[in-house]
Amino acid sequence: MFSGNHIDQILDVVGGEFSVGLLYLDESGKPPILNQLFKEQFGLPHDACWESFLDIVDPSFEAEVEQFVKYSPSTGPAEVRFRLSNSATSNTYSAKRAHVAGSQVLIIKKLEEIAGESFPDNNPFPVMRISSHGQLMYANESARELMEAYDCQLGAVLPAGLYESLMQEDHSYELNRVKFGDRFANFKKVLVPGTDYHQFYGIDVTRFVLEEQRRDAVSEQLSEELKSKKKSLQESYDILRQVYQNEGIGVFFMDTQGSFISANEAYQNMAGYAAEELSTLNWMDITPPDDLDACEKLLLALTSEPGGKTTFEKRILRKDGSYFYVKVFSSLVESGEYGTVILGLVVDINDMKDYVRELEEAKAYLTEAQQLGGLVFFETNLTTGEMKYSDSLYGFIGIEKTNTPLTFDTMIAAFTEDTKRATKKIISELEMDITYRRINRIYRFKNGLVKHAQLTLRKHLQNGDVKVKGTIYEVTNEIITLQSLREKEATMLKVQKMADLGSFSMEMATGEIRCSSYVYTFLGLPPQSGLLSINKVQDVFAPVTQRMIAELVNITQTENEPKERILTFVFKDNTVRHAKVKAEVVVEGNRKYVDGILVNVSKEIELELMLASKAELLNTVQSLVKFGWWENDFTRGKVVWSGYMYTFFERPVEAGPFSMEEYLECLVEEDRKFVTDLQKGGYSEGKELKSTVLRYLVNGNLKYTITSIMYRKDPSGKVVRIGSMLDITDNKAVESNLQKARIQQHSIINNSASAIIIQSKENMVVEANKAFCQLFELDCMPKDLIGLPISSVCRSVKTRFAQPSELADTMNRINLEGKDLSNIQFTLRNGKVVEADWLMVRDEEETLGYMWSFRDVTSRVVMEQSIRDNLNNVNSLLLALEDLIVIFDQSGRQRKFYCNDLAEFTFTEQKKSLPDKETLQLSGDELTDNLKRSFRDIKRGSQKTTFEFTELGKWFRCTVSQFETVQGANWMLAHFKDVTKLKKISLELRAALKDQIESNQMKTQFISMASHQFRTPLTVILNNIQLLDLIKKDMDPRLKKVSDRVQVEVKRLTSLMNDVLTLGKIDSGHYRPKIGPVNLMDVLEVSLEDARLVYPGRTIKVVAGDDLDSYSLKTDKYLLEHVFSNLVSNAMKYSEGSKDPEIYVAGNKDTFIVTVKDHGIGIQTDEIDKVFDSFYRSKHAQGIKGTGLGLAIVKEFCKLIHADIVVDSQPGKFTKFTVTLQKMIKG
């Protein structure tokens, strides 16, 4: 496609992509041709030539440079070095020959630039480092590919032949055509200062060597020079095309009108079209509607720009409707077949856009943190004294911001002499061997101010200068507040100690307890015990108090208000203390605490116990034995009750005792009649009641007592009736429960899925179930086994075992050890696996019998084996990852890691094979601190945490999450990923984001300005025409016709401007819907009225339910009217001469569905997907007026009010638009 006369234009594109200066050497002897980047590097004008360059070369080098150009590659030197006469520095430049597109070029660079270049792992040029002993210390991906020919890995010694080729003549700077199997590479060799290592920067010249060999072979066969050149150029072009076809860079050719001629596979993947589809498309067809104007201008600039070279970013509208961001390097080139065409190199920047947005958000957060948090950033060049800093530095040192930049000396001039000396000492330590410092400092200023700050410093070298980056975080207010709090805390501790009072706060998730010093005293622990935990506190108490504390913590969480309780604490040494405790639950964020106070009331409790009356002691004893008594004075009818009587009859003490009549009412009717008959006839010794069981009905519950009633005379001779009662309700319940338990036990055993047999201590079977008979295939019922000796049953069962001796061995073990055995596995002859338990049945200390329990665990054993196989597969999968995965237990101890050879090199400097190690050494304070912080956050309830850190000159991202092991333990999983490439890409995207934002702002301003500027003159024209109609009523008909046409066109342009302005507002995000109640039928009536005015004499049929008028919805009334007015207008416009359109309205619980249908020209099937595109007009609607914006605005308005719109059509029959509206939407 390219002619030899335009190879310089191709080199311009290639040179621009790889940032090198190129000169094309014409073999006919003409002066070299300079590419654009070459001219820019040396400050030459656009039309500069070879002589212009020689004018700026130092005269002492001019002859050598000019002679170097004239040499042929076979006879001349490989390199020449020179300096410029107009350069203020002593920079030295290097010029070397190379082959590009089958022709000679000179590649010119500054030597300083060559020495300072960095080559990341994905750099296409090979880079490696070799020690003086021939050991391969480092190699990037390209170099490792070359080393594959020798099977040479990192850390290995190079083969002798290769080492001699690379190290030949230590003074040699250039190494040409070093052979690696069937590949060749040229290298530049540099001795790394201060080491015995040599750094090799190379370029793979295999293609060029093979090309040169092929050309030499062709030259021997072809005698005609023209044919040789043509074939060489064509094959070089094929090589260039092959390179770009196989790379990830997209390449396309299109004519100056924007129509695609061809494109490589990478560009086809970006656009989402096949090569045949692209050949039928124009550049505008794959451009989003919003970018059409900008792209049209770019195309115009590209074809009119001198040299035709342009670099820009754009969005591609893919075939599936999605957007794809790319960066395009384009240039005009000449093609023999197509004439002047556009060559484009396209780079994918989709991910870059996302990172730019993230960087901008991070930058905004950082700026806000600086302003609000007293954070200062700075960088000091210790060599020159220059500084870079944030504006917050002025506020920290207390000076006004001026146009004069600060230096290190002017900054420390604001300090006192002591602070100056301390600051200089820190800097001097950094200049020596310390690279990182984090310290807390007190800064004293000459104006008397004193500030506290945390200082973080990090030293690095750049271009020979020593630089220090750092942050200053002012904590003056926090220090002052802390000092005040410490003083208040000391005062409070004194008060608490005097009042035997302490406070505490326990975090629910971790059990950590923070408390005042008196709590340590109360617990009997020294204050130096450190941070308490719930487990540590429980260790000092007896079990009864441990249970009380656990229950109290659970109860406190359910209470709405804090309650005060008096608790008794029993310690392990049997010491007893009493305390009044008041606690409540406090929630802070996602953390929950139990906060409270504790007052020691042991002395008060002891005093109350000493003063307790005998009656109270007696009541206590009575309550314990559930015994009560009463006394009835016959003369006054007074009744006296003991304390337990109130408890028995569930009556508060404040209510007083029952009368005898009320007492009798509580008896069951039969017992009440018995007692009443006994009392008839007055006092009599024979009518006493002794130890009789009576029944009471108390609040619906039946209670039993043993009651005695006696008659006595007091010293005054009065008759007194005394009754006593012993509550035996619980005994009756126990007796009933025992009977129920026996029945329930038999039912549980008989229905159990486990096979159970129970023997007495006399070795007789006392219980067996169905499962036992079924498991061992016994031809009998469980009841048939009861009463048989266990030995006879064992003889029948033993034959069912695959290894009968196993059962016998187990029985011997039971007899020998005499204790319970669990989870003993046996295999039966039918292939089943059973698990057995042998238990002794005891009643306190006496053994009553023995129980065998057998469970069928065949499916579980199979499942466990499957799980073990799956775990082996998971381990293999994890070891195949290029990332690093490390497992920690809950204490933070490393338990396991997964890492293959590639990840080993990336994440560590350990050369031993990692799978042979038990743990992985993760060094670095930053990484260790971040891991500990992540573990703490996850223990406090976080799902997962992510942080980034630097190690070995690279950036890593670590994600920490928690998982539960099979044993139920909570372990941590740390996933490390190398994100160095992404970090470097993000730096390049900062400038791109700024340009994109400015471009969007300019587009929005232009749309607004253009719409307003056009609207004003159009309004003036319309008003003047209408005024003219009013003034000259008898106007010439021809003039009247012209006037009417002008009015129609002005209104059409005004409508177009309104549509453009509306789209501009929507695109810029400035349009906000105004949500309010709207009646759907009212909106449709407005749309129909508008249509009747424009199309008089035509009607439109509305089909709706009877109750739809009563429904309303919440939406933007203006937007909804615009949507239906446009759809109704289109239905009228595109169906003239056909059946009138119809509107169908339906509704359900949540939505309205409105369908506008016409019977007009219809829409072609291949145009259905384009009707909502801006400015799109169907080829079948060319004779009908329209702007192509109506349906685009309808679609955008539907999005704003959360409505869906779809279109269905058959050409020549109908077109139907269906709008689905939500009845309730949020504003």
Residues near 319 by Cβ (< 8 Å), separated by ≥ 6?
A: 271, 272, 273, 277
DSSP H or E segment with residue 641: strand 639-641
How many Å apart are CA 732 and CA 941, to the nearest integer?
50
Which has more pLDDT, 14 or 578?
A: 578
Q: Phi and psi of 1098, rounded to 5°?
A: -105, 150
Q: Is the pLDDT of residue 252 over 50?
A: yes
H helices, E strands: number in the chain: 38, 48
Q: Is the pLDDT of residue 28 over 60?
A: no
Of 374-378, 771-775, 973-977, minimum mean pLDDT range: 374-378
Among the ranges 238-252, 454-468, 997-1011, which has the highest mean pLDDT value?
454-468
Q: Is the pLDDT of residue 27 over 60?
A: no
Task: Choose among 254, 308, 320: nearest CA to 284.
Answer: 254
How far apart, in Å, are the Cα atoms of 30 and each of 21, 66, 108, 828? 19, 12, 19, 98
Q: Is the pLDDT of residue 454 over 50?
A: yes
pLDDT at 1136: 77
pLDDT at 116: 38
pLDDT at 1155: 93
Which has more pLDDT, 716 or 327?
A: 327
Of 37-46, 860-869, 919-928, 1148-1157, minimum mean pLDDT range: 919-928
Q: What's the rounded mean pLDDT across residues 155-167?
A: 81
pLDDT at 307: 61
Rounded (5°) CA angle 437-476-926: 30
pLDDT at 934: 86
**3-state DSSP call for residue 298?**
helix
Q: Are 346 and 13 in contact (CB under 8 A)?
A: no
Q: Which two tokens stand for residue 326?
A: 């790319």
Beta strands in 728-832 (DSSP E): 755-760, 765-768, 821-827
- % residues pLDDT > 90 (the chain): 1
pLDDT in tens, 261-320: 888 888 888 888 888 888 888 888 888 888 888 888 888 877 776 666 788 888 888 888
pLDDT at 910: 43
Of the CA atoms within 13 Å of residue 853, those in its CB half-sphere come to: 15
Q: Which region holds residue 626: left if phi is over 0, alpha if psi is between -120 and 50, else beta? A: left
pLDDT at 150: 80
pLDDT at 1217: 92
pLDDT in tens, 814-840: 777 767 777 788 888 888 888 888 777
pLDDT at 242: 64
Q: Which two tokens stand for residue 762?
A: 């006399």
Binned at pLDDT 50, 70 and 90, residue 117 comes out as very low
pLDDT at 507: 87
Binned at pLDDT 50, 70 and 90, residue 1204 comes out as very high
**For the whole model, what pTM was predicted?**
0.28
pLDDT at 604: 74
Q: Is the pLDDT of residue 783 over 70?
A: yes
Give 76-83's long-range contacts (Cβ < 8 A, gap of 24+).
Answer: 78/174, 78/176, 79/173, 79/174, 81/111, 82/57, 82/58, 83/57, 83/58
Q: Is the pLDDT of residue 13 over 50?
A: no
Q: Is the pLDDT of residue 785 over 60?
A: yes
Between helix 206-221 and helix 225-246 the angle, nearest 10°, is 160
pLDDT at 97: 72
Q: What is the dihedral of CA 370, 376, 378, 382, to 10 degrees?
A: 180
pLDDT in tens, 893-910: 777 776 655 455 455 544
Which has more pLDDT, 1193 or 22?
A: 1193
Q: What's the rounded mean pLDDT across residues 38-45?
A: 78
Residues near 111 by Cβ (< 8 Å), separated by ≥ 6?
A: 81, 91, 92, 93, 94
pLDDT mean across residues, the chain: 75
Q: Are 831 and 801 in contact (CB under 8 A)?
A: no
User: Locate tokens 């508060």: which residue?
Assistant: 652
pLDDT at 1219: 92
Which has more pLDDT, 36 or 520?
A: 520
pLDDT at 12: 47
Q: How far is CA 698 from the centre of its chain?
A: 63
pLDDT at 1156: 92
pLDDT at 10: 46
pLDDT in tens, 929-965: 888 888 888 888 888 888 888 877 788 888 898 888 7
Q: State the Rg of the chain over Cα.
A: 48
pLDDT in tens, 460-501: 777 778 888 888 877 777 777 777 777 666 666 665 555 567
167 exposed, middle or buried (CB, 10 Å; 0-12, 13-18, 19+)?
middle
What are the strands of the beta sheet with 846-856, ordered from one edge? 765-768, 755-760, 846-856, 833-843, 821-827
pLDDT in tens, 1112-1147: 788 888 888 888 888 888 888 888 777 889 988 888
Q: What's the rounded mean pLDDT across residues 657-662?
A: 78
**Which ranges constitute the DSSP H helices of 1134-1218?**
1190-1200
Q: What's the rounded mean pLDDT across residues 845-856?
A: 77
- Count of CB atoms situated within 10 Å of the CB of 60: 10
Q: Is the pLDDT of residue 1218 over 90?
A: yes
pLDDT at 410: 80
Among the ranges 685-689, 989-993, 1122-1126, which has the highest mean pLDDT value?
1122-1126
**3-state DSSP call for residue 973?**
strand
